[in-house]
Amino acid sequence: MVSSEQRRRQLARDKYERQMQARAEAAAKRKKRNAVVASVLAVLVVAGVATVAGGVFDGKKEEKKPSAAPSPSVSGKQWAAEPAMTIDTAAKYTAKISTSQGDVTLSLDAAKAPHTVNSFVFLAGQQFWDNTKCHRLTTQGIYVLQCGDPTGTGRGGPGYQFADENLQGATYPAGTVAMANSGPNTNGSQFFLVYQDTKLPANYTPFGTITGGMDVLKKIADGGAEGSTGDGAPKLPVNVTGITTAKG
């Protein structure tokens, strides 16, 4: 005959075993759930890498739109953050882009695009663009010469990015200078010069106007772009020998 004490011990043992089984089942469910989550994350990571490797940020993939993706500079000059604001936003600034095909001069709009102009002045002062090439010319749909990538690949930048500016009602008539980007708030060092009235969505920070050298841009455009799409490297090589800026 089972005593009350033995019965109590048996019930306690049964309860303990049920608790252990429940814990084991819960642990198995957690392990399975974590494995599924890890698998999904792995797929997302691989997909993300494949997307970048496949050239989503390549200007030629995003047809007829100025595009620039961040990538290390061959110049060795990289910065972790946007430079501190040093320009006088109430002052006038000018720039001269010296190229192998001739000079292009700009008037920079520090009031409407202060961070963009500040970055442009900073990079010019660092000789960041010296001995680089304008890597992209479009002669169909939009009409721009794109420069500012020290790697010459369309993927180079200064290591930092900064926010868009001056987009409200932005248009891109001939004579506009604006930032290329790979999406909202991804401005770096690449910019484009509009040599003929161009229709673009207001996604690219305009920060100045071309005051001289439209004949230079026309000569480059008349030379055509590599390939058959009207979107490629200019057939007339355009090497930037230097960019200088001045206040006033």
The count of domains in the chain is 2
Residue 191 domain-assigned? yes
Domain identity same for 236 and 147: yes
> Any alpha helices (H) in 161-228, and if so which ranges?
214-223
CA 202 to chain centre: 16
Residue from 146, 136, 133 nearest 75 by CA: 133
Q: What is the CATH number of the domain that holds 171?
A: 2.40.100.10
Residue from 207, 172, 169, 173 nearest 190 by CA: 207
224: left (phi over 0), alpha (psi -120 to 50) or beta: left
Residue 213 domain-assigned? yes
Is the Cβ–Cβ distance between 93 and 230 less than 8 Å?
Answer: no
DSSP three-state, residue 104: strand
**What CA–CA distance (Å, rounded) separates 57 from 240?**
23
Residue from 216, 221, 75 nearest 148 by CA: 75
Domain identity same for 123 and 10: no
Q: How confident is the model at residue 44, as a pLDDT?
A: 33
Domain identity same for 44 and 151: no
Residue 151 domain-assigned? yes
Domain identity same for 146 and 211: yes
Residue 157 domain-assigned? yes
pTM passes above 0.85: no
Domain identity same for 207 and 142: yes
**What CA–CA distance (Å, rounded) separates 177 from 16?**
75
Domain identity same for 24 and 122: no
Residue pLDDT tens, the chain, 248 long = 556 655 655 565 555 556 556 655 665 565 555 544 344 333 333 333 333 222 222 333 344 677 765 544 445 689 999 999 999 999 999 999 999 999 999 999 999 999 999 999 999 999 999 999 999 999 999 999 999 999 999 999 999 999 999 999 999 999 999 999 999 999 999 999 999 999 999 999 999 999 999 999 999 999 999 998 999 999 999 999 999 999 98
Domain identity same for 103 and 166: yes
Domain identity same for 135 and 234: yes
Domain identity same for 32 and 118: no
Domain identity same for 23 and 113: no
DSSP three-state, residue 193: strand
- CA-to-CA dists, residue 148 to 22, 67, 240, 241, angstroms: 63, 12, 9, 11
Residue 186 domain-assigned? yes
Residue 61 domain-assigned? no
Domain identity same for 217 and 169: yes
Q: Which structural domain range is residue 35 located in?
A: 1-54
Specify the long-range contacts of residues 165-168, CB closer than 8 Å, at least 24 apart: 165/112, 165/113, 165/114, 165/115, 165/116, 165/205, 165/207, 166/109, 166/112, 166/113, 166/116, 166/205, 166/206, 166/207, 167/202, 167/203, 167/204, 167/205, 168/202
Domain identity same for 140 and 45: no
